[in-house]
Chain A
Amino acid sequence: MAKAKVTVPTPAEILPGISYKTPEKGWMDVKPDFRPGTYCNPANPKWLEWIGYPYPRAWHVTDEDWHLPSDWKETILQGMEDRLSRFRSLKLFFDICVRCGACADKCHFFLGTGDPKNMPVLRAELMRSVYKRYFKPAGRLLGQLAGARDLTEDVIKEWFFYLYQCTECRRCSLFCPYGIDMAEMTILGRELLSSIGINIEWTLASVAQCYDKGSHIGATPQAMKDMIDFFAEENERVTGIYTPITYNRKGAEILFVAPSGDYFADPGTYTFMGYMLLFTYLGLDYTISTYAGEGGNFGFFMSHEMGKRLNAKIYAEAKRLGVKWIIGGECGHMWRILNQYMDTWNGPADFLEMPVSPITGTKFENAATTRMVHISEFTADLIKHGKLKLDPMRNAHIKLTFHDSCNTSRGMGIFEEPRYIIKNVLPEGHFVDMPPNTIREKTFCCGSGSGFNADEYLETRLRGGLPRANAVRYVHEKYGVNHLGCICAIDRAVLPTLLGYWVPEVEVTGISELVGNALVFDEEIERTTDLRDRDLVGVGEAEEGVEAAEAAEEEE
């Protein structure tokens, strides 16, 4: 019997690309490798039925056949044509890119995965190649020679893989000499995919629940009320201050809208307690809505149309309740939408009044058309006018750095307000910024935005989040930073996981939570802990000291 020949590989042979080079293929010929951890699960058909979106069906990413509708190709090409005429930006982006490569190494997914198709210039090429083939004469004639290619099912799979490896963070556009915005392309590309029934579960479940019930997690109004009432009791237990809140109250001056992550998921819950403490301190005439119980808008992650539908709920509620203006909580994409899209989708909101702080009299003219003010702007204005009594020592256990969330920084330009608040609620020297090429406009994405906080996607998220975490690790090791602050609910949900992998010594906190810790009320009880029940500096030690002394006495 002939013996089977066994070849034992050397270590160099085990790693691809070292002892042998596979012949380099052109990028068009490399297919995505759908392994667990590298893709999000497809949406359950029932969600599509709930919101009336096309082609609800069960399918699996790893199956050869994605059961696309028979006319999928016409739908996509028609959709492209339609969008090329409606969005001048898209046509411009397709035509104008000179492939200078300035954007190539600026994407966190490229930096963290090393996959060349995560270079923004190549990500755009995935769609541009189809545009060239069907909408440009040269591409029609010369095909691949002119960088054009036929639209096939494989191309659709590739779009799915890479358009769902872009968090629409816009970092690349900052470095493009023409300002080409890959995020816009991703948004439109995902719309096209959605038009042939390709959607992801995490986004669609959130969208359908929000559309049907009020918030992404689909809680009933009763559950929402129950939870927030509980925070009022918690605030009273920790601070002695009861912070009651009213729901759906007509005639209130202000409607407050927060992301649902802030009243269901830790550590966002402590941020919500901070909001309540602040509003109670001011005696603000405000209410919250159980119908517009969601500041976030996952609709924006699948199509402009769905984003518009969900955004409209906030304004419908403001109208129904007859409030004068709106304050929004610490959310990321809610603000990008407010700042960049709301006006053309559902605005201007001229049935509301120009927002004026009832405490300081400041007129928020930047919110002239949206009539919605960011909680950080509102709070910073209060501090600037000396309206808050603050004791920074209650945050002395916190050494903070600040993550500029993509949406509030690149999407609307909020840089100073949160830093101003932080410096006023923390003891001096307790705030350190990360290196300049990783913050403000140049901030690195958390890697899990735009609908990626699904647990099945963890590996890719952690890789995409490496550039952010690497900078956090630097300030942790160099300055002893132990908390990462942010003003985004997705960040509060995903950064603890990201840091849990890369820098487990650092915890995540919202900024209003720190305000809640520091606020001094006249009638409060003596504070011994922060809102998370952690001992304040000096308190635990003092008690331990007493205990130790007592123990020593007993021994004697």
Chain B
Amino acid sequence: MSAGRDAMSMPPPLPVPTHLAPTPGRGRLQLKDISIAYGEGAARRTVVERFDLDVEPGEFVCVLGPSGCGKSTVLNAVAGFVPAARGLLEVDGETIQGPGADRGMVFQQATLFPWKSVLENVAFGPLMSTGSTSTAEQRARTFLSLVGLAAFEKHYPSELSGGMQQRVGIARALANYPRVLLMDEPFGALDAQTRAMMQEALLNIWAEFRTTVLFITHDIEEAIFLGDRVVVMSANPGRIVADIRVDIPRPRTPEVQFSETFLAIKRECFAHIRSETLKAFAHQQNATALS
């Protein structure tokens, strides 16, 4: 039922509401030479090493890479949940020191608060910063209409389909006017049809709310369809091995997947991912053989 309901409540392309547009030039993300390790003492293992990434304000960057290469780790470092052992993490020149409302997060499972209604979930961020329920709910309504779910504001999250929950999750993150939106395989748990709908919905939302996006995925086509750039990571250590510009004009429709440009980029990504995955596999087998 999720796909059907989502299709019915897809947000129509709206005129750009100017009050939603973030300050231009805001949201530059810079990661310089960062290394991240987990564990202490003998168990200490460096997961990400000498990682560099520069994201322009308002740019949509997708990160691809074999499982376990450290994609979530990098995202969590930007979110402020994982400290970097070395290197520089900056948003608009300000060093990242911990989690904060200027970086919105959308998780694989929509982690909506089950005890709050849809409206209260989206109002959560504004309520934390302003302390005023009415201001927060007013802002939440704006963002709920942006994701096409204004009619569901009184529902509890458990009453929504997976795709609708994810849209509420996006609205909740955006309601804070974040400089950067961090998305960790947000559509990974959805079925194929809902997933395709959500990709289009996300592009529609992003067309109106042009914030910087760092988007992690396993899905090559998703990465190319959504991103201005696709970066491919290697495993052991996690590092960027390819940085590919996606020169497909916007607005994009699902048909762009059959264009020459798209296929060429797809071929390139595929080759990188395959060789990185093979390397990661060999590494894992060596590790098991040694232990």
A and B interact: no
Interface residues of A (CB under 8 A from B): none
Interface residues of B (CB under 8 A from A): none
